[in-house]
Amino acid sequence: MMRFYGMSFAAVRQMPIRAFWLLNGMIDRVRAEEVLEILPAHSVAMGGEHVKRIVKGLHTRLGRPQIVETVTMSDEDIRKARRLFGAGGSV
């Protein structure tokens, strides 16, 4: 997480656990997408059955799209989000 998002160890430790796991899951999905993009070039050398197993594993890592529910945020939730993600957004 620190290397992917450029966060310090202290920032990661202060992060709420739900935010940590959400961002961690996104890292895995982004990496799987990147590998799927370059896989056709490697599949020529690897052969059919090996590639099928790799693609199946990567699609599993991609998962299903997230379903987002709309929730209202309290003033305290907004302050926490701004501390976590910065005040630049329209939170």
Percent of the chain with pLDDT over 90: 0
Residue 10 is predicted with a pLDDT of 87
Does this model's pTM top 0.85? My answer is: no
Q: Who's near 5: CB < 8 A, 6+ residues apart? A: 23, 27
Residue 5 is predicted with a pLDDT of 77
Higher pLDDT, 3 or 13: 13
Residue 15 is predicted with a pLDDT of 84
